[in-house]
Chains A and B, each alone.
Chain A
Amino acid sequence: MESAGHQPVLIIVLLLISAFIAPLLYRRWRFLSGAVVLAALTGSFITALLLLSKSGASSSLSYHLGNWPPPWGIELIIDPLRVYMLLVVTGVSLWIFIYALGDLKHELHNDVIGWYYSLYAVLVASMSAITLTNDLFNLFVLMEICAITACAIITIKDQRECLEAGFKYLIMSAMGTGCFLLGVAMIYMVTGYLNYSFIQSELSLALTDYPLNIFTAAALFIVAFGTKAALFPLHVWLPDAHAAAPSPSSAMLSGLVIKIYAFALFMIFYRVFPRSLLDTIPLNEIILWLGAMGVMFGSIYAMLQTDLKKMLAYSSISQIAFIFMGIGLDQPLALTGGLYHIMVHAFTKSTLFMSAGAIIYSTGVRRISDLGGIGKVLPLPLFAFTIGSASMIGLPGTGGLISKWYLALGTLETGRILFLLVILASSLLNAIYYMPIVINAFMSGEEFKEKVKIVPLSMQVTLAAGMILVVISGIFSRQVIIFFEQALTSLY
């Protein structure tokens, strides 16, 4: 592996520096504070793009933090899949941040916005680091940072629902990280390494001597990441947390944070566990079934909701389960679908939460039944909502269809039609709870009665960008898929 220069760590350092500066600047020059974080996010996105051009679709680079070689030091790895995830993380968070610039003034107390910027930057930094890290203990620390900052961007809103939801989230994720750390201890016990690559080569030997340790660790990892990524039935914290949070936070949490953990689990399955372990115990099978149940139950719960953001949150549970199904099917096509869905759902759900945020911003309405005729007064947010819904249902021309296509191909390739039916049924259920909102908003003859504030420009721009992203991910997907095909060959 060749050296990567200092770019990998630059992403994280840039964001952390901006996180320190932002609240300081906010006391004097409010405008600058946002601009600094914006610049850092842009910088990290550009750096991620540079990394992509460096690593390409097949090679991988390694960066030794503090120049300590592995297995002693922390290693950051830049391989195609990680770069993809890094691009999604930095790109989507940049996009959501622009939205947040407009939306936060209304959702938060004026004094804390500077802190929000800071937390946001740390959150993005921790997520970028989670994608890049090649060290289990480092992953633990980053997961805790991610959990604290993710909770903090919920509880920063001074409402008691937010506090309660944030606390629930914190406790659940503390349990998750506790399980994770115990699992790391188990692995460390038998291998003596914390570096992914070293563990992987060591585990296949250790598997014969200490199978129980490794099985326990695998189970603990599933619980840990299942909790963090809201995999059914460990999803209980998600609806409250995502629904109560300020809208940019909801977009961030549903759009990226839960997916980071799904991605981390994917990395553990394919970069830490040797192939022989996945063949010995049916880990993928467990994930597959939990995913399938999550897909169904998430959709069914979502149908029962009356609050717009709660509905979106439950829908996230079903969508994240799609990604897990991709991992569970353990097949390149299905993995392609699952990984692509990470991006598609990041675009889609963020767009949906943003449009919900715009609705709440300008009218204060949260109940689904009160949205009749709102499409005439807020055309852009509702249009964005429509496009997002279409992608959730998986209509042609949106990214949802592409990921569904590959997941479905994966189910067929493995000969498991049952799961294809689950995918189709969930699309139908999605249609049943998303469509009435759209219809009601545009087509019902009702007049919308509430007072309407004008949506700020930054929010409008991001909403429009969201629509475009959702559509682009549905049309110009070929390159990404080919990229995956090449990248995934290294796993099998």
Chain B
Amino acid sequence: MEIISRLTENYFYLVAVILFVIGMHTMLTHSNMIKKVIAMNIMDSSVFLLFVAIGYRHGAQAPIIREGVDIVYANPLPGALIVTGIVVAVSVTAYALSIIVKIQRSYETVDCDEICELRSED
């Protein structure tokens, strides 16, 4: 019982983990390259969500400090980090997609298994 209550309290962690597993599973098992890239993004996003969730505090406001006003504010650092993380993820995605375009041009397929077959024919 306790574990369920813990999980429901920290449901955002659970979501992040589920997303992470979905992403990883798809990335490793699907042979379509585009799907792999999408899965990679799901995986990254799950971690970003988790990170942002860590910084959240109940009833907190944006971390803007005004003189004399004592408020509860959310931890700004994870947010700042995740912005960087998103930039990184975007560039990796862009690069991966550009490779896929080139692969599609030379192999005329974006399926890993088919490429393996093509390569074994060489």
Contact = CB atoms under 8 A, between A and B. Distances in A.
Interface string A96-109: 00000000000000
A439 to B, nearest CB: 30
Interface string B16-40: 0000100110011000010011001
Given A167-B33, A182-B50, A151 B102 contact: no
Interface string A160-182: 11011011001100110010011
Contacts of B84: 137, 141
Label chain B's interface by main secondary structure: helix
Contact of A182 (B47, B92, B99): B47
Given A167-B33, A167-B103, A185-B54, A178 B20 contact: yes
B50 A175 contact: no
A164 to B, nearest CB: 6
B81 A167 contact: no
A181 B40 contact: no
Contact of B40 (A140, A178, A189, A194): A178
B44 A189 contact: no
Contact of A178 (B24, B77, B96, B100): B24
Contacts of A189: 54
Contacts of B23: 178
B44 A170 contact: no
Contact of A171 (B27, B81, B115): B27
B73 interface: no
A424 B78 CA distance: 48
Pick the most buried of B47, B78, B85: most chain A CB atoms within 10 A of its CB. Answer: B47
Interface string B38-79: 001001101100110010000000000000000000000110
B96 A188 contact: no
Contacts of A171: 27, 36-37, 40, 96
B103 A164 contact: yes
A178 B107 CA distance: 28
Nearest to B102: A163
B8 interface: no
Nearest to A181: B47
A137 B81 contact: yes
Interface residues of A, number: 29
A166 B106 CA distance: 14
B20 A188 contact: no
Contact of A167 (B50, B88, B100): B100
A166 B100 CA distance: 10
A189 B102 CA distance: 40
Contacts of A147: 92
A363 interface: no
A164 B96 CA distance: 11
A152 interface: yes
A307 interface: no
A342 interface: no
Nearest to A159: B106
A151 B50 contact: no
Contact of A163 (B47, B50, B103): B103
Nearest to A170: B96
Nearest to B98: A155
A175 B27 contact: yes
Contacts of A72: 77
Contact of B106 (A160, A182, A185): A160
A170 B99 contact: yes
B101 to A, nearest CB: 10
A151 B103 contact: no
B95 A170 contact: yes
Max chain A Cβ within 10 angstroms of own Cβ: one of B50, B81, B115, B119: B81
Contact of B78 (A155, A163, A170, A188): A188
A148 interface: yes
A144 interface: yes
6 contacts: A137-B84, A151-B99, A163-B106, A164-B119, A181-B44, A182-B50
Given A163-B99, A167-B100, 4 more contacts: A171-B36, A174-B44, A174-B96, A182-B46
Interface of B: 20, 23-24, 27-28, 33, 36-37, 40, 43-44, 46-47, 50-51, 54, 77-78, 81, 84-85, 88, 91-92, 95-96, 99-100, 102-103, 106-107, 115, 119
Interface of A: 72, 137, 140-141, 144-145, 147-148, 151-152, 155, 158, 160-161, 163-164, 166-167, 170-171, 174-175, 178, 181-182, 185, 188-189, 194
